[in-house]
Structure 1
Amino acid sequence: MTDTQGKRVSNHYATDYVVGQDNIQAFGFDLHNPVFFISELFIFAFVGTTLLMPEQAMTLLSGAKGWAIETFDWLFMASSNVFILFCLALALSPMGKIRLGGDEATPDFSGLSWAAMLFASGMGIGLMFWSVAEPIAYYSDWYGTPFNVEANTDTAADLALAATMYHWGLHAWAIYAVVGLSLAFFCFNKNLPLTLRSAFYPILGERTWGWAGHIIDTLAVLATLFGLATSLGLGAKQASAGLEFVFGLEDTIPLQISIIAGITLIAIASVARGLHGGVKVLSNVNMAIAALLFIFVLLAGPTLSLMGWVVNTGKSYAGYFFELSNWVGRDDEDWLHAWSVFYWAWWVAWSPFVGMFIARISRGRTVREFLGAVILIPTTVTLLWMGVFGGGALEQSQNGVGQLANGLDNIALSMFYLLEQLPWTDVISTFGIFLVLVFFITSSDSGSLVIDSITSGGKLDAPIPQRIFWAAIEGLIASVLLYIGGTQALDALQAGTIAAGLPFTLILLFICVNLYKGLQHERQLMAAVASQN
């Protein structure tokens, strides 16, 4: 940005902070003091306590999760609506023209690679699990039905698809978009470190680099690491169940830990290669495999009927959108808390991880392009996927075909129950297991890059030993908890992550305010330069 005399006009904030100025270099690591050390202390203390007292930890954290969800359901529901309206307002406003990284910035990745990475890191693995299980759960009254409609009816089927899309669609990606856009803007346009604390500079000023910022970044590290470890452990259980279903291998804890170890080793190799050589390549492979699985199910199943389910999913989602977004006067409170509020707490708790990763790969995009792609592309892909897999599952259940017709005795096998009714069951189920594993690898290595950035003080490229360390820690935590504490320990970890969604919801609301202030500051600078021309 230049003035009429051709002099460079800085659009950075007037801060003396230098990225990495508080860092300690040791053993090939570049450690931000004190965030790295406080995070490590809390991690080992939490894991140790959970292992020593799994039942007490489960009781305490489940109580905290239940209290947060039941007491602040209104906050989670209202905030999710605020985030989507905020993103829409920014995209339609003149601020939508602002380019991340400045007017001359160009994208670091092609549109296809960009879309593949943001989707794979955000929700790809969840869709493998819940695209079948969730619609069936709502339809067959596994844990209540939306609006208490009668189970196993056409209305229940429509609402099952609408509610599933509601949880995985626009609202969810708006949460990620708020964090991602804020971090990308403050990092690439205002030259601040790529850490969550940078999003608070408009309010905190220089206090951002003090203890207020240390607390924010430490919370982000803990939420990211515990969320990834939980998903890795629970995902290993799904893959293990699939191996038993297809190959007859006994679904045991040692098998699950072996799966975690394999995923971790590949994730370490990927994260060591970096964003371009590892994460991008795996994400592209991921989406290619997912596309092949999608096409096979569409063509091998009742194709015309599945296409009709896709259309029906879109219509139901649009038709029930506002009803599902409203929490006032609902008579399905148990279902609302167990599903919708739970999801918003989970997505918010995951937002530092996914948002920061999306920010890392989004330099060169305009605000409008960023919001449109981050929210609409994954939602569209999700709609197609839910229509084919969720709709196919509902059709099997309605026609009394296969084990899905009898409910979900084993949720981890829901996807495999669907594939069981298609040709080449063993081959395509093996394909599905492989896809689950690759999705977990991409989530693990992208999460490691995020934690690397935070614990190095916001540096975009942390040392390779540090990347390996965090990828290994994720797998180690999941394995240790699963081996010693079993599913109960993982459930306790998940409950703690969900409870963390409450303070992070408030953090995200403040981020909206800060982002608006930052974009306004950028617009004013642009207008000042334009007025001199």
Structure 2
Amino acid sequence: MSDKSHEELMVPDGKVNPIDTDYQVGQDNIALSIGPFGLDIHNRVFLVSGLAIILFVAATLIFQNQVAPLFGDVRSWLTSNLDWFFLSAGNIFVLLCLFLIVSPLGKVRLGGTEAIPDYSYLGWFSMLFAAGMGIGLMFYGVSEPLSHYASSLGGTASEGGVRTDWAPLGAAAGDPEAARGLAMAATIYHWGLHPWAIYAVLALGLALFSFNKGLPLTIRSVFYPLFGEAVWGWVGHVIDILAVVATLFGLATSLGLGASQAAAGLNYLFGIPTGEITEIVLVVLITLLALTSVLAGLDAGVKRLSEINMGLAILLLLFVIVAGPTLAILGGFFSNIGSYLENLPALSMPFGREDANFSQGWTAFYWAWWISWSPFVGMFIARVSRGRSVREFIVCVLLIPSTACVLWMTAFGGTAISQLVNDGYTAVTEAALPLQLFAMLDALPLSSITSFIGIILVVVFFVTSSDSGSLVIDTISAGGKVDAPKPQRVFWCTFEGLVAIALILGGGLVALQAMAVSTGFPFTIVLLVACISVVKGLASEPKS
């Protein structure tokens, strides 16, 4: 073992301090091979997080009737009492990212001054976008703009457990154009700068401390400048356990949403009955597909699936733009960005809001959901971002995906609103939440084909989220190792499916949302502390 200290190994020489140069002071303490199966895991993180999740799944399956109302109460309490906390945290993450773009710290290169990118822009964008929010875009792309539009006009409907009388900014009753602008601004707010800033902050920290400082690729490493050697003890254990639990429940939430939408689509096209049984069968089948991808690895499995998914998503997006109200979509893209920027200060205000129901019912849930996903998406983005400068990293991770989300929501949500306002087509508003995408496509040509493509997209987004999430959870529970034994990946991928099934049985959409909020809250505190650590770490790096 080398006699170098952590501080000596963190001297910024512009190159990666490779772990194989006996950087084992922390690594030896956090990773351990145990058991007859040759597992290479961090024993405390793996066992504590694994047992906690097993107990949760067992309790949910055994006490279904008792836990269903409990989930609703938990979500209601957290979003009603802590909405100001989630909104404030989201604003801090955006401001930090914007600061790094214009700051000299943006010149730091991830991996050292001589590092070059591992992936092309196309492969990079495909992976980070598919992992970041694929299922969510499919599920909410039509339903959220419609919900905000209806509520802004004074609607009081409720679909799928999501109330639509929670209007943004006090609504614009009686004014369809104002309501459309508010609806799209509120939607973009939930899918634009703020969620991607959450991902970018943690991803940047992980990439910096792994590629530039030589620390293990695990969440605790981000906190080394603040806690020093304590990150290799229980301080670090708690951080990584929170990351594993938050990631798994965040993924399970998305997998549950994807299963309900795929089931609705299959019922719509082929008459297959909807309900818990169909959703559970879908979770099982798609988890098996995810296992295949996980075993294939990052390049052969996850990257290839992500690129296929991106191609299908672009194809469906272009079809909606061409077959839908093309001029309205193209013009709406710019007007929606303008409406978003105009309303952003009011939408992001954490205190003194007139639309408390909106901030609690939508925004607080979304921010907690994104934060519960951040360990998974952040680590995944970090793994594929070596060689990028901090400025390039922030611009690409923050601005480009946000722009793509604006275009997606404008095309899908704007088309649905136009169908309602201009054509009097009410089927999309009358449909259940998971079915609204297919109802919108039904009013366009080739609806059977596009709806089938939509189902395939949901499934493949489902698979890419599950397999990449399994790789990330396995890395955290293995103390930062990216080449841990395959049985561990199988274990976590299977666990994700089991948790999704438990949540479906334990309360459906409400249960899924409750767990996302519950796990997102403590990890929000972790991310806020990480902001300080990231700035300190960047300040010690040479500027390329």
TM-score interval, normalised by the smaller of the two chains: over 0.9
2:299 to 273, 276, 280: 276
Task: Say if 2:466 is the partner of 1:447.
Answer: no
Describe the SS at the equivalent of 1:328.
Answer: coil
Describe the SS at the equivalent of 2:540.
Answer: helix
Q: Distance in 1 between matches of 2:427 and 2:501?
A: 31
**How big is the shift at 1:47?**
1.1
Q: Distance in 1 between matches of 2:394 and 2:52?
A: 34
**How big is the shift at 1:466?**
1.4
Aligned in 2, Cα 1:239/1:20: closer, same or farther, shift over 3 Å?
A: farther
Mapping for residues 153-232 of structure 1, pairs under 5 Å: 153-232=176-255
Describe the SS at the equivalent of 1:72.
Answer: helix
2:115 to 98, 105, 123: 105
Q: Report Cα offsets for 1:266-285 as digits up to 9, x if no partner.
A: 11111111111111000000
Task: Say if 2:463 is the partner of 1:438.
Answer: no
Partner of 2:265: 242
Partner of 2:343: 320
Contact 1:54 1:489 in 2 (8 A): no
Partner of 2:374: 351
Contact 2:34 2:41 in 1 (8 A): yes
**How big is the shift at 1:59?**
3.8
Partner of 2:43: 33
Task: Say if 2:530 is the partner of 1:508.
Answer: no
Partner of 2:155: none
1:124 to 129, 134, 153: 134
The one-letter code of the counterpart of 1:168 is W
**How big is the shift at 1:38?**
0.7
Q: 428-437 or 138-147, which moves further after superposition?
A: 138-147
The one-letter code of the counterpart of 1:43 is I
Partner of 2:6: none
Q: Report Cα offsets for 1:444-478 as digits up to 9, x if no partner.
A: 01100100101111012221221122112212332
Contact 1:349 1:504 in 2 (8 A): yes
Contact 1:175 1:351 in 2 (8 A): yes
Describe the SS at the equivalent of 1:24.
Answer: strand
Aligned in 2, Cα 1:408/1:175: closer, same or farther, shift over 3 Å?
A: farther
Contact 1:23 1:31 in 2 (8 A): yes
Aligned in 2, Cα 1:490/1:394: closer, same or farther, shift over 3 Å?
A: closer
Partner of 2:91: 81
TM-score normalised per structure 2? 0.90
Q: 129-138 or 221-230, which moves further after superposition?
A: 221-230
Q: Distance in 2 between matches of 1:479 and 1:21?
A: 31
1:66 to 76, 84, 91: 76
Q: Distance in 2 between matches of 1:182 and 1:502?
A: 20
Q: Distance in 1 between matches of 2:224 and 2:59?
A: 35
Q: Distance in 2 between matches of 1:21 and 1:508?
A: 21
**How big is the shift at 1:25?**
4.0
**How big is the shift at 1:15?**
7.3
**How big is the shift at 1:233?**
2.1
Partner of 1:422: 444
Contact 1:166 1:317 in 2 (8 A): yes
Q: Distance in 2 between matches of 1:355 and 1:507?
A: 13
Aligned in 2, Cα 1:254/1:65: closer, same or farther, shift over 3 Å?
A: closer
1:378 to 401, 415, 435: 401
**How big is the shift at 1:383?**
1.0
Q: Distance in 1 between matches of 2:426 and 2:300?
A: 42
1:301 to 283, 301, 324: 324
Aligned in 2, Cα 1:144/1:10: closer, same or farther, shift over 3 Å?
A: closer
Task: Say if 2:502 is the partner of 1:494.
Answer: no
Unaligned 5+ runs, structure 2? 1-11, 152-163
**How big is the shift at 1:65?**
2.9
Q: Distance in 2 between matches of 1:472 and 1:283?
A: 20
Q: Distance in 2 between matches of 1:289 and 1:19?
A: 44
Q: Distance in 2 between matches of 1:19 and 1:132?
A: 49
TM-score normalised per structure 1? 0.92
Aligned in 2, Cα 1:414/1:277: closer, same or farther, shift over 3 Å?
A: same
Q: 70-79 or 279-288, which moves further after superposition?
A: 70-79
2:172 to 130, 146, 150: 150
Q: Distance in 1 between matches of 2:136 and 2:219?
A: 24
Contact 2:14 2:113 in 1 (8 A): no
Aligned in 2, Cα 1:308/1:8: closer, same or farther, shift over 3 Å?
A: closer
The one-letter code of the counterpart of 1:23 is L
Contact 1:139 1:151 in 2 (8 A): no
Superposed CA RMSD in Å reads 2.1
Partner of 1:136: 146
Describe the SS at the equivalent of 2:41.
Answer: strand
Describe the SS at the equivalent of 1:143.
Answer: coil
Q: Distance in 1 between matches of 2:167 and 2:512?
A: 27
Aligned in 2, Cα 1:87/1:399: closer, same or farther, shift over 3 Å?
A: same
Partner of 1:44: 54
The one-letter code of the counterpart of 2:410 is G
Unaligned 5+ runs, structure 1? 1-6, 528-533
Partner of 1:402: 425
Partner of 2:64: 54
Contact 2:333 2:407 in 1 (8 A): yes
